[in-house]
Structures are given as C-alpha cells and as structure tokens.
Amino acid sequence: MNKLFSMLGICRKAGKLVLGTDAVAEAAQKQALHLILLTQDLSRRSREKLTTVASNTSIIVIQAPLTMDEVAALTGKAAGIIGISDKGLADAVKDIAARMNEEDTIC
C-alpha cells in the first residue's frame, strides 16, 4: 500500500492526477488520460458511468485497493475515481496496483 500511496503522491505533485467523476469523464473523452483507478467503495452508478466512457477509448480502468477516505488523506479531496494523465506514471501505478491485487488473491 505504501508504494501505491508514494506513486500517487508523485503523480499529485507532478500535477498529473485528475480527481472526481465529472473531471475524469471529461479528461477521458478528450483522450487526456492513460489510466483510471476506481476505489473499492465507489458507487455502482459512478463505476458504470466511467466504465462506459472509458469503453469508447483506449484508457485502462482498474480497481484500486484504495478507499475514498484514503484518497482524501493523500490528495485532500474525497474522490472515488482517479485519472492519471502521464503514461509513464500511469504504467508505474498500474504495475503496483496489479501486484497488490495479486497479493490479495494469494492470501
């Protein structure tokens, strides 16, 4: 979890995070994102909206092992949807999240 928080912190400091349903949907429609993270406690309606928007793009959408409260602690804004606009940072976050999800299924 610490690696994911660290990487998201780097994304935030670099100005490469987009937070919230509407902002992420707008950035996705403009093809300005490389990765969308959905928190574990995101509402079904918001999840479906972003999945639909992203299905018309090449943007990868993954379930992050995070809650909205954890996102709020990291960014100062409660959000269940996070977009990353830098490809290199998005790839790094995707790899970390994938490893974390694999570890959860092993246990």
Q: What is the pLDDT of residue 43?
A: 92
User: CB-based burial of residue 15 (10 Å sphere; 0-12 exposed, 13-18 middle, 19+ buried)?
Assistant: exposed
Report the C-alpha gap between 79 and 47 in whole angstroms: 12
Q: Give Cα 74 to chain centroid, integer Å.
A: 13
User: pLDDT tens digits for the chain (107 residues)?
Assistant: 689 889 999 999 999 999 999 999 999 999 999 999 999 999 999 999 888 888 888 899 998 888 999 999 988 898 999 999 999 999 999 999 888 766 654 43
Report the C-alpha gap between 59 and 69 in whole angstroms: 25
Q: Give Cα 85 to chain centroid, integer Å.
A: 10
Q: What is the pLDDT of residue 103?
A: 63
Question: Is pTM beyond 0.85 here?
Answer: yes
Report the C-alpha gap between 49 and 21 in whole angstroms: 8
Q: In the chain, where are the structural domains located?
A: 2-106
Q: What is the pLDDT of residue 107?
A: 37
Pick the CATH number of 2-106 from 3.30.1330.30, 3.30.1490.20, 3.50.50.60, 3.40.50.620: 3.30.1330.30
Describe the crossing of helices 2-13 and 87-106 by its angle, rounded to 10 degrees: 160
**Contact at 8 Å (CB) between 4 and 100?**
yes
